[in-house]
């Protein structure tokens, strides 16, 4: 166990959080961070994943990478995303995943901390294009548990795949419960 993994586990334990180990992870996957209702979610997710010995790359809005924060965010595995215009992000991420032996891409599928009508489809399209599974991760503030719930293979049947994901997250609570968006793709 690395020092950072040990320290992350200690911080979570002292804070009263239960670590969910979940099933073994594949070398390549799209990792979902849900619910995303607060700025603390990134911190908690990275802490939880560090406690599990997982070092993901993660997608975040490009404004988080401006100025002095840019080098810090990139050193933590951040990949800036311009959500204001089409940039080919899905294709770019599928290519990045294919080009590496190990690549876990963490995404907050809601795309915002505020209540939204549903999830953006980017995570789903990346998983299908890269032919990698989806890892359901959670920071459940209601029960103070953090970690991996399941590893799922997307079938291409959006309704069935999203129903399976929704079942996993049904009883999970964000830091701001009223801001938790429903688990469904926004068309």
Whole-number pLDDT of residue 163: 97
Distances (CA, A) of 134 to 1, 3, 5, 158: 25, 28, 23, 13
Domain boundaries of the chain, sorted by first residue: 3-177
Taking only the tens place, the pLDDT of each residue in 145-171 is 999 999 999 999 999 999 999 999 999
Does domain 3-177 sit in CATH 3.40.50? yes
The backbone region for 84, taken as left when phi is positive above 0, alpha when psi lies in -120 to 50, beta otherwise, is: alpha
- The C-alpha atoms of residue 40 and residue 88 are separated, in whole angstroms, by 28
Taking only the tens place, the pLDDT of each residue in 61-115 is 888 889 998 999 888 888 888 877 777 889 988 998 999 999 999 998 987 888 8
């Amino acid at each position: 166990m690395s020092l950072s993994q040990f320290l992350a586990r200690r911080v979570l334990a002292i804070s009263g959080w239960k670590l969910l180990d979940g099933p073994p992870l594949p070398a390549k996957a799209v990792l979902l961070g849900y619910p995303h209702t607060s700025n603390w979610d990134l911190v908690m997710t990275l802490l939880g994943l560090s406690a599990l010995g997982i070092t993901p790359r993660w997608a975040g809005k490009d404004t988080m990478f401006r100025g002095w924060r840019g080098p810090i965010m990139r050193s933590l595995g951040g990949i800036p995303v311009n959500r204001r215009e089409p940039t080919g992000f899905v294709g770019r991420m599928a290519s990045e995943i294919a080009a590496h032996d190990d690549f876990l891409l963490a995404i907050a599928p809601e795309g915002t901390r505020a209540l939204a009508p549903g999830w953006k489809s980017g995570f789903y399209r990346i998983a299908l294009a890269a032919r990698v599974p989806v890892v359901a991760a959670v920071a459940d503030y209601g029960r103070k548990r953090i970690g991996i719930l399941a590893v799922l293979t997307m079938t291409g049947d959006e309704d069935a795949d999203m129903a399976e994901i929704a079942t996993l997250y049904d009883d999970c609570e964000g830091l701001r419960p009223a801001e938790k968006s429903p688990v469904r793709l926004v068309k």
